[in-house]
Structure 1
Amino acid sequence: MVDDLSRRKFLLRATALGCSAAASPVLTPMTFAQAPGDNRLVVIILRGAMDGLDAVRPIGDPLLRRYRAGLGMSRDSGATDLDGFFALHPALAELMPLWKQGDLAAAHAVSTPYRDKRSHFDGQDLLEAGTGQDIDGAGVRDGWLNRLLQVMPNAGSETAFAIGRSDMKLVSGKAPVSSWSPDGRLDMSPQARLLLEEIYHDDALFHDTSMDAITIAESLGMASDDSFGMSSRDMRAALKSAREAGDASVLARFAARRLNEESRIAAFSLGGWDTHRGQTRGITRALGGLKDAVLTLKSELGPRWDHTAVVAVTEFGRTARENGTRGTDHGTGGAMIMAGGAIRGGRVYGDWPGLDEAALYARRDLMPTTDVRSYIAWLMHGMYGVEASTLETLVFPGLQLGRDPGLLA
């Protein structure tokens, strides 16, 4: 049994994560699904609320510089011009060849129907549920990917690496899903534990919390010798990748391996987006991870990249104005990043509402003009032939698809 001191130590460290705990990949699994055809869809959930105004900067709006003087978002800030109005954060500069060849796009002023409460956990749950604001009421509680599997023939789903959390709302529901849960046994061999240590080597808080979680699980008799089905050779290769490129590339490489086999849909999370203070450093690191994930997917998928759509979405955006600690607080409207040979790239989608105070949501946040679910739904429609009426009523209940934005090449 774990002594009280060990439990208290773990709980204190977990509490210390605060709202940023929602950004930790330790709290989420990776998910894969089979689907008919050769098209591949990768959903990357950016946990912690990515600042879309920083990632894809509206430098053509003069108010951006005024609102964020301490964050250095001017035309000469090092961001890469996209279309004369929007510019890409410097940390994403290596993705510009994809933009130029039409394999990279963004959508701005997007959000789920979630409003006002600005809780990471509620926002992420609603993002994965794909519903309106009924998530805490009597409405739909399963995930949109599970509902998609229910309407697609010959589809199936699998959850892997569910470290520290028993499920992922994205795949919860009536469709059968095979999964591993720490409520049973923690399949963490010494090699797998070493991999986790490598991934979190440079993040002391998450590293210590993760190690404490494993120690508690082992003390409770929840550990086994299975390393997630990975051979020693695969584990060594994963360790090498972790040391060389960090966890984003490791996750993307694993996802690509599955997508090169029977899987057609993959979903995983990247953390580090909760930038209340010192945003310049924090978002640069997080965007670097997203960039690594995209480039790794492209490299590892090879010719299958031409039939792949990658969408990176977050639970909500951040405030238009910076706060007093050179960061931004929880907001509403944000941005999503799209990549892949299946994407009609080289453009920023969406209706830009402007940053004038009267145009802001609650006079503080970027006003959402498009439901982020509609972009994902149109991809499902085009890639997997799911009927629009099915998407609006069953997969994303309450969604109004609107006009096809023409996301697919």
Structure 2
Amino acid sequence: METRSLFRALFLINFAITLGFGIADAFFSMYVFSLGARGILLVLPLVLYSLSKILFSPFMGACSDKIGPRRIASISLGLYLLVSICYFFTTSLMLITIMRLFQGIGCAMFRPLVASLVGERTTSEKRATVLGTFDISFYGALSVGPVVGGILKDIWGFEGIFAVLTLLCIVALLVALFYIPAQRLSKNHAAERKTENQCKCRTIFTMARQNSLRGLLAFIFGRACGISLLSAFLPILLTTKLGLSGIQTGLVMASGSLVFTLLLRPIGMLSDKTPRKPLIVAGGTIVSLLYFLIPVVSGFSQILFLGLGIGMFSVLSQPACTTLLIEEGVRHGMGLTVGIFNSVLNLGFIAGPLFGAGMQHTFGLSSVFYAAGILGFVAVGLFITTIVSEDTPSSALFLEKGDVTLSYVTSEKL
């Protein structure tokens, strides 16, 4: 019952924070533009936010392994609340830019904590189901955020957006203070705690030599590049090449997120009943193939169907990937592992658009989607190579779901 209450509280907290900043971030560029930001001042807040998440995620994740979860939650959610209040009361571009830095630090603390609390309180038999269900709090909020933000902006302007953001941050902070425990783990997870304590001496460089973690990081980097390329350049293709209306473009962009969110729990259940690594390989491979089809579609119905397919096969790898990440956290320290993972994820989100911009300028818009497909194939190939090279025999890629933790403990002699 205690675990279930904590799960519900974390679900609500994650949904509230993701919804609040999903609403605000969707209109952030428009807001700073309305304040007179041009050139470097327009992009600097966005760059600082991403860089702060990349630089601080491993450090903050490691801190979350040593500091009580309630304290970490209070600090990170307090930073979120401070940012939301400043957004509401100030129009200073300099202060807003600084707040974006603090927002990134808060995210670097908050995401590893939430992922580790959920992951370490689930058994290996149901871990993918639980993680897939919990991810609904993130992707569901992310899907409805821009819509809610648009309604708020039309009715109350930017003040309405920031007022709702502040309210959601207050709710999240109060729930955290009441429901997040002061101690790291419950007594039912003492064995995992012992394993984690034995692994705390590992450094980031030691972790980087682990093939399984490197393979996972390579896969998520390639996936993040693909997602960011799609988000940045697909609207351009939809409007300039296909001539779609704003509503049609919005439907295409939302289609993948919608089917992704709806399938998270069932795919999580599938990941608990079948080998997880093949799901990652299958999902990553098919999505990469679908990227190659984007430049050749010729109408709204085709691109909508393609968007649904990308969402459907993207979710195939999501719960399995998160579960393997949590199992890596048992080896190396949960917060540090998730922090490094988030850094690589955000690095992919930055590298993707930059790489895409160069491809578009040199080879045209269609080349961006071909590049996304190639990056996806390379990421899957690296994942297969590193995983197979660590597992023995070579067929271990297709071992059953419960083999991972056991093979980790025996091979590393923890």
TM-score over 0.5 for the pair: no
Q: TM-score, normalised by structure 2?
A: 0.24
Greater fraction of residues in helix: 2
Structure ranking higher in strand proportion: 1
TM-score (norm 1): 0.24
